[in-house]
Amino acid sequence: MNPAIVIPSYWAGQEADAFAPGHYDHTTDPEALAPELDTCLGSLEQVPNIPRIIILVVCPTQATDGVRQQVESICRAHAQLPLTIVTNAEASRVQERIGRIAPEVRDEPVSLRGYGAIRNMGLAAAAILGHDAVVFMDDDEVALSDKYLVQAMHGLNQLTRQGLPILAKSGYFYDRSGSPFADTSRACLSDRWWTKREQFNKWMKRALATTRISRSNYVCGGCMALHARAFTRVAFDPYITRGEDMDYLFNMRMNGLDVWFDNEWVVRHLPPKQNDVAPRFQQNVYRWVYERAKLAFANAQIDLHQVTPDSLMPYPGPWISEGLEGKVVKTALARAVCTHEHLAYLRVLLRGRAEARRYAEENCDKYVRFQNFWPAVMAGLWCDKELAQLLERGTVKADRMAAAAGDAGAAQGAAAGPVAGAQKEDA
């Protein structure tokens, strides 16, 4: 196989209100002394025979040039890595090409805006450059050993003992303390109706205790591998507000395919600390209300496989089941009383729920319609010579980086050091 590692990297603030659909969990401050991307790339230097690494630079359009310079500065500190940078400038050309391949496609389902669309841009870039496998890694994660790539490729495009193809698989992550499990020690009344930790831990304990490769109910977007036989057939959902990785598992099952879990492939997650939780809670309200509406629409289609809560127990089945509205109301009310974000949670209670329902109603059918065009889009982009030349110009060559590193080092010094963080929260 000819894999590529794809790393989305979020920079330079937000373009949308924190309570609007699609707000990112966090972005890197251009003035940060130790950007997460630098630490991530540093961890990949130990991996032999490292393939092309495609960095998707997500930032406001007006900040593109400045952020690109910042990312190139980080790349110069990792001269031995084959790094290709994709910014808004390259992405716009890809979008133009997609518009010619499939003029019926609306919105921006392949772009550097929105979690699902950004993942699709990574798949598009890999297809343009002729890579038949994609390994997704987040910029706030680090590889733990020189076996990272070997673990990522293990079993991919092979068959299980039952003769089922392994075309998509997920590993998992350790938190700062080295645990693969969600922290249940801080549970409080305001989390009673919204926590997924116990459900997740029950599933994870079972997955870690079974054979190395097993059918998955979980996807870690920063430790995820897709073969072209999957990613040229099934797209990420550009309309999901967050959780596009788990949603990809639903999309695969809708199309008669599976995602598999590899209990020996693991990374470490080092996210920056977040002070306010209410905006993420609102994004999760959008996410799960939309997810339920989307699956209801998809389950009514005669050409798609049904995805039911019962098939996704103990996790994440409860989150696509009835009773979601009650969870939202009880959690928003409890947190409005018990946390310092009183007004923010009242906003979710009084306005956010209705906004989420409206968003779901307006968008629940769009992914299925977009998905109909995805195989043609991928076929049209595969090894496109003009776009490949464009993306190759974004490849930071090792010899040029080494020379530039000496000049840049005196003036700016490469950022270094791990970023301290906390485990992902159930907001």
Q: Helix %, strand %, coil % for the chain, to 5?
A: 45, 15, 40
304-328 burial code (b ≥16 CB/10 A, e <16): beebeeeebeebbbbbbbeebeebb
- Please report whether residue 27 resides in a domain: yes
CB 138 within 8 A of CB 391: no
Residue 269: beta bridge partners?
141
User: Tens digits of per-residue pLDDT, 161-218?
Assistant: 999 999 999 999 999 899 999 887 766 666 777 778 888 899 999 999 999 999 999 9
User: Tens digits of per-residue pLDDT, 59-76?
Assistant: 999 999 999 999 999 998
- Please report whether residue 372 resides in a domain: yes
Rounded CA-CA distance 9/27 in Å is 8
CATH number for position 27: 3.90.550.10
- Please report whether residue 78 resides in a domain: yes
- Please report whether residue 12 resides in a domain: yes
Q: Identify the burial level of 378 via C-beta atoms within 10 angstroms of its C-beta, where 0-12 means exposed, 13-18 middle and 19 or more buried.
A: buried
User: Tens digits of per-residue pLDDT, 95-128?
Assistant: 999 999 999 998 999 999 999 999 999 999 999 9
Residue 181, SS3?
Answer: coil
**Continuous H helices in 300-384:** 324-338, 342-347, 353-363, 366-371, 374-381
CA nearest neighbour of 12 among 88, 75, 125: 88
* Number of domains making up the chain: 1
- Please report whether residue 420 resides in a domain: no
- Model pTM greater than 0.75? yes
What is the residue-level pLDDT of the chain in tens, covering all 427 positions? 999 999 999 997 655 567 777 678 778 877 777 789 999 999 999 999 999 999 999 999 999 999 999 999 999 899 899 999 999 999 999 999 999 999 999 899 999 999 999 999 999 999 999 999 999 999 999 999 999 999 999 999 999 999 999 999 999 999 989 999 988 776 666 677 777 888 889 999 999 999 999 999 999 999 999 999 999 999 999 999 999 999 999 999 999 999 999 999 999 999 887 766 888 889 999 999 999 999 999 999 999 999 999 999 988 888 888 888 999 999 899 889 888 888 998 999 999 999 999 999 999 999 999 999 999 999 999 999 999 999 999 887 654 434 443 343 333 333 333 223 333 334 4
CA nearest neighbour of 348 among 238, 211, 194: 194
- Please report whether residue 202 resides in a domain: no
Give residue 20's domain range: 3-181+207-275+366-406
Q: Are strands 3-10 and 133-136 parallel, antiparallel or unpaired?
A: parallel
Q: Work out the number of other CB atoms within 10 angstroms of the CB of residue 188.
A: 11
- Please report whether residue 294 resides in a domain: no
Rounded CA-CA distance 339/197 in Å is 20
Rounded CA-CA distance 226/372 in Å is 19
Q: DSSP letter for 28, please.
A: B
The structure tokens listed for 175 are 């938190």
Percent of the chain residues topping a pLDDT of 90? 71
- Please report whether residue 315 resides in a domain: no
Q: What's the chain's average pLDDT?
A: 88
